[in-house]
Structure 1
């Protein structure tokens, strides 16, 4: 089954109007056969490069590989089997890595947040180019760190599948196909936004 252009962006039931780059962005497990070039990747990395970071430490590091390359296969080999089943559809795989220490050797507790900002910048830039991102926690972090020779103070925090929207639904395992076509959902703001102390259920009041 081909996913045609009318199906590329899922329905997103926002309760407040947000920018289309945010509204239309989602994380598919199928990708078009259209390749993503190294030049396009450099645009994405440049977008990430200008993300905010605590004390401007910029603790992020990216490992990348285009399908058919040794680097791609090495990244694929550190993913958990569940993600390997569909990530093989992506023309590009990335690893997001952070240095958990400052230059003085102190713990940088903000490093994962900063990598998140880097990744969000990349994802929105990608969306503007018709390119999809699917970020994954399912990888062997220690194996990946050893495989790509990062020092002990570094943590491989995420893997990312990158490619143009599209592809064939049949390339995704049956048990994941419904997730590819279903409506998106999120918690209500009242569940996580607090104008004061934490409560089991938030109370967001419009002003």
Structure 2
């Protein structure tokens, strides 16, 4: 494997064996110039379509645009300034929203979780195709809501940059380059997995 290709893989210090599609997935801020075709996108959306959801309500709504299109520019204009500093090299930008109500008008407390399931399905499908997805919380939710004319009972939850792994890391600014080269870290399982009652570790003294 060439040094350039090695840049596309990050060391993932797992404690237990997991699938390579999960292990090798990460969220770059630089993408290859390779276009993401309509066929590629349809595969990603189809993977999301078959995600599990509460009562099969499928509350997710997705707005997408390819670079060079008016929709892409409108999505880009909703991004926070920091994300605008790198996301314009992504071939595709998405916005993810969800319907806060069930079909019978009740509050759907699981809708955000279900949108997350949709995005997770998309992400694993994308990884199998050599495509990266970088999720962003940093965007103007109200502006996006108004720009794309969503009804009041919908919430804009995420923006996503999509593109094939690749591109020149040196094209990024110094700070962003540092971010890209950071080691991957995650909390240990015993900090969030409990075989019984939840215990706040901060409330447990070390001598117990």
Q: CA deviation at 1:36?
A: 0.5
What is the aligned partner in structure 2 of residue 8 from structure 1?
8
Q: CA deviation at 1:16?
A: 0.2
Q: CA deviation at 1:182?
A: 2.2
1:21-63 residue CA offsets vs partner (Å, 9 max, x unmatched): 0000000000001110111000000000000000000000110
Q: CA deviation at 1:200?
A: 2.4
Q: Secondary structure at the match of 1:160?
A: strand
Q: C-alpha separation between the residues in 2 aligned to 1:171 and 1:97? A: 31
Q: C-alpha separation between the residues in 2 aligned to 1:76 and 1:174? A: 22
Q: C-alpha separation between the residues in 2 aligned to 1:49 and 1:83? A: 27
What is the aligned partner in structure 2 of residue 35 from structure 1?
35
Are positions 1:63 and 2:76 aligned together? no
What is the aligned partner in structure 2 of residue 197 from structure 1?
197
| Matched length | 200
Are positions 1:82 and 2:82 aligned together? yes
Q: C-alpha separation between the residues in 2 aligned to 1:172 and 1:108? A: 41
Q: C-alpha separation between the residues in 2 aligned to 1:39 and 1:48? A: 14
Q: C-alpha separation between the residues in 1 aligned to 2:195 and 2:181? A: 36
For the aligned residue pairs, the C-alpha RMSD in angstroms reads: 1.2
Q: Secondary structure at the match of 1:78?
A: coil
1:44-102 residue CA offsets vs partner (Å, 9 max, x unmatched): 00000000000000000110000000010000000111110011111100000100011
Q: How does 1:87-106 map to 2 (within 5 A)?
A: 87-106=87-106
Q: C-alpha separation between the residues in 2 aligned to 1:186 and 1:32? A: 27
Q: C-alpha separation between the residues in 1 aligned to 2:14 and 2:80? A: 32
Q: C-alpha separation between the residues in 2 aligned to 1:57 and 1:46? A: 16
**Structure 2 gaps, min length 5:** 203-208
Q: C-alpha separation between the residues in 1 aligned to 2:157 and 2:168? A: 29
Q: C-alpha separation between the residues in 2 aligned to 1:170 and 1:151? A: 42
Q: CA deviation at 1:171?
A: 3.0
Q: How does 1:1-207 map to 2 (within 5 A)?
A: 4-201=4-201
Q: C-alpha separation between the residues in 2 aligned to 1:29 and 1:135? A: 10
Q: CA deviation at 1:201?
A: 3.1
Q: CA deviation at 1:196?
A: 1.3
What TM-score do you get using the length of structure 1 for normalisation? 0.94
Q: C-alpha separation between the residues in 1 aligned to 2:7 and 2:53? A: 36
What TM-score do you get using the length of structure 2 for normalisation? 0.93
Q: C-alpha separation between the residues in 1 aligned to 2:172 and 2:200? A: 37
Moved over 6 A (4+): none
